[in-house]
A and B are shown apart, each in its own frame.
Chain A
Amino acid sequence: MTGFLALGFFILNGYGYLTLHSDALSNTLSWKHILAAVKKSKKSLPSGASVVILGDSIGQQLFPRETVPNSLISNGAVLAVGHYILANNAIKRNKNLKYIVLVSAPWVLGHQFEWELTYNCFMKPFYTFENLRHISKPLFEKINKRKMTHRVIFPFVKTAPCFSDINLTGTRKKPREILSDTALEYLKKLKNLCSENNIEFIVLSPPIREEWRRKTNHWEKMKIQVAQIGLDDSFKEYFKRMIYLDDSYFRDHVHMRSGYIDVKKNRAGIISRILPQQVRVGLYRPK
């Protein structure tokens, strides 16, 4: 019986491992786009590339990972810790990096770890033996609150559809107007990581709804928070270059309508407004 179980464990995890590493098999995973970002982060960027772009699903509309070579965009549910791990992978493999740009809507940075998308979008792709060293004590304590969550470290649990989801929260938390604990911790870590490698860390916002400006008083609380933790440098352009659009430009109040963003001129216009000149040069003309 023990032999049967041990061999079963080995076979099931073997198949899971194969699934994670085969494009054809991983194609059926619900989080395949995040896996694609992880895989891309472990490859070298085109020679001479000096910019890496991380970000959420709105950022993906501006810098699609599939077509922009510098883009390692996943989604907002990977949380700042996911972005940190992706950046870490990219820095290790690309010695010429000068800028790491995080394109994320402000309320996305407000999402707590206890979010209904965290299990499938962060835990499955990022909770691996390899990444354990990036999991801080406070974060580990959060994960530890649901004991069964740890099993996701095995490839079998990550990939088998019978382990589809664990709702880590039970209730859907409303978007926040301040940075979450996890964001605070990992944005700081990301900043330090970049400093250690002589890389500039820049946070930028994709276009958001006009309503947010009024609701948050142009992110007054977040600005104070950012100053308190010493991230002003990275957020220097964030609030200055923030674009507010009318709700009619959004298909679901969050993502821009494809009829708008898929027009080359519109996308280029937004990119030129939010992205500083020096970064744009690194992004489009890698040496």
Chain B
Amino acid sequence: MVFTSFDFLIFLSLLFPVYFLFPQRFRWVLLLAASGYFYSYLRLSYLVYLIVPTLVIYGIAVKLEAMKPGPWKKLLLFAGVISGLACLLLFKYADFIGRSVYAAGGIFGGGGKYEPFNFILPIGISFYSFKLVSYIIDVYHERLNAERHIGYFTLYVSFFPQLLAGPIDRAVHFIPQLKKKIRFDYDRVVSGLRLTAWGFFKKLVIADQLAAVVNQVYGNVHNYAGVPLIAATIAYTFQIYCDFSGYSDIAIGVSRIFGFKSMKNFDSPYSSTSIVKFWNNWHISLTTWLRDYLFLPIAYAVMGKIKSPKLAGIKAETWGYAGGMFITMFLGGLWHGARWTFVLWGSVHGIFLIFSYITKKTRKRAVKKIKLNRYPGLHKFVKVSITFGLVAFAWIFFRADSISDAFYIVTHLHTGLAAFIGDAAEAFLFNLSLKPAIDLIARLGIPVVVLNKVIIAVIIMEGVQLVQRKTNIDTWFSRKPLWVRWSCYYTLLVIILYWGRYDIKEFIYFQF
């Protein structure tokens, strides 16, 4: 079931009253049944790939907890991690690995043609597999006790709002909530509904409308050069943010309606002042997962291998950071999809992060030298712009259909740029005409009236996020007079229903 379908709205409006009328101690049964129905609505067989690893991990965790530290416990942990990832590796990466091996074989003179398995990838598998892995590792490290209640554990893995595209909540955070008494709280439900509506706004009004521009240009990259490529890349930068953060808002909002607190997944990432901060604010549940279960172990392992304080004149700490970061971002890219474009996207970010780490002092000195630090506003603007530019640039690799398309875009971004700026400036200054811009919009495959709506929607979104950065918007908004709140609700409703696009049924992150 997809959040943006009418079926989901009906499902939610039926489940909600039943849930609060249900006896507290059996609510998990209701939620589990609802989650099973929600997932099997897409395809019944998906349930098997969800239930089998969940039961295996449940059993391993209970056994793991009872074992004493030693090689057998480590072995069991390894078995647990592999079990958690088995379906993911098989369904998502088997063909990718096969193709890559055959391609490499071809380079080195091997022959043959790879016959792909063409498995159907169960939606959400990347997300729930990571939940399983984090759980088993946390049990191993005794950060939490193995959950004995199989229903609670299964519900943690399969809780429907988080099932298809996260947030990748941790068991230590989620399972205790199942054991607490949840009462109907009007304010909490309203707050959840607000966040859900906000998610729909981002997804339907901004992301899905921008998809027209992005698909038009990225689907035929060789027909475009210069400004259209830049415009489509910026459009994609907003599309992917609104699509995924919109999904997360709906997931968190729906969880809140049912009384559950989910972890935050986005925190105005495009207003970050550095790449490091961008990653602290983008897909937070994945970033923290990668940090805790990949980056830190790798970084410590690398540092542990270097016995002296420096190696080749570089600090061991820097080696640890660079090694850990590059491998993490490489694998993070691969997590998004079994394609080299994703790997390249992750690697580009890895390079950005390493470069940012090693040039930190130099950049600080440069800022002081040009006295930019005397103008904090301007300094922040420059930092945000550079970060946004780098992030948008990296999205090219993420969105392009192939590596060759990505390189075509990168090498043609500047083509005709100066001429366009000259024409646009001349038309505007001497004739007060926007013709070059209007011609460009026509080439992008989006009507001007729709583009205007999207621009207004983006301005509204940025305005809300500006308030969000300064204060708790939920509390701030709740204190507003009744007529203000209701006017906002209705405006949002009209915008979602009238300005939204309803023919795109999926979220971008479903494919991951």
| A residues neighboring B (CB under 8 Å) | 4, 7-8, 11-12, 15, 19, 24, 27-28, 156, 159-162, 164
Contacts and interface: CB of A to CB of B under 8 A. Distances in A.
Contact of B450 (A28, A156, A160): A28
A24 B447 CA distance: 12
Chain B binding surface SS class? helix
Interface stretch (B256-264, B472-480, B494-502): B494-502
Given A8-B490, A12-B493, A19 B503 contact: no
Contacts of B493: 8, 11-12
B494 A12 contact: yes
A102 B498 CA distance: 35
A160 B498 contact: yes
> Top 7 A-B pairs ranked by shortest CB distance?
A160-B497, A162-B502, A11-B490, A15-B494, A161-B502, A162-B497, A160-B498
Contacts of B490: 7-8, 11
Given A11-B490, A161-B502, A164-B502, A24 B497 contact: no
B498 A24 contact: no
A161 B449 contact: no
Given A11-B494, A28-B447, 6 more contacts: A8-B493, A15-B494, A15-B498, A27-B449, A161-B498, A162-B500
B448 to A, nearest CB: 10
Contacts of A28: 447, 449-450
A164 B503 contact: yes
B432 to A, nearest CB: 21
A22 to B, nearest CB: 11
Contacts of B497: 12, 156, 160-162
Interface string B19-51: 000000000000000000000000000000000
A19 B502 contact: no
Nearest to B487: A11
A5 B447 CA distance: 33
Interface of B: 447, 449-450, 486, 490, 493-494, 497-498, 500-503
26 contacts: A7-B490, A8-B490, A8-B493, A11-B490, A11-B493, A11-B494, A12-B494, A15-B498, A19-B498, A24-B449, A27-B447, A28-B447, A28-B449, A28-B450, A156-B497, A160-B497, A160-B498, A161-B497, A161-B500, A161-B501, A161-B502, A162-B497, A162-B500, A162-B502, A164-B502, A164-B503
Contacts of B503: 164
Nearest to B503: A164
Nearest to A162: B502
A24 B500 CA distance: 17
A119 to B, nearest CB: 15
A232 to B, nearest CB: 46
Q: Select the residue from B447, B450, B494 with max chain A CB neighbours within 10 A.
A: B494
Contacts of A162: 497, 500, 502
Contacts of A160: 497-498
Nearest to A161: B502
Contacts of B500: 161-162
A161 B501 CA distance: 7
Nearest to A24: B449
Nearest to B498: A160
Q: Select the residue from A4, A28, A159 with max chain B CB neighbours within 10 A.
A: A28
A42 B497 CA distance: 29
A264 to B, nearest CB: 27
Nearest to A164: B502
Contacts of B449: 24, 27-28
Nearest to A10: B490
A19 B494 CA distance: 12
A176 to B, nearest CB: 30
A162 B503 CA distance: 9
Contacts of B502: 161-162, 164
B470 to A, nearest CB: 29
Nearest to B496: A162
Contacts of A156: 497
A156 B447 CA distance: 22
Contacts of A19: 498
B482 to A, nearest CB: 11
Contacts of A164: 502-503
A215 B378 CA distance: 76
Contacts of B447: 27-28
Nearest to B452: A24
A7 B485 CA distance: 14
A139 B25 CA distance: 54
Q: Select the residue from A15, A19, A159 with max chain B CB neighbours within 10 A.
A: A15
A164 B490 CA distance: 21
A116 to B, nearest CB: 16
B71 to A, nearest CB: 59
Contacts of A11: 490, 493-494
Nearest to B501: A161
Nearest to A156: B497
B207 to A, nearest CB: 15
B418 to A, nearest CB: 34
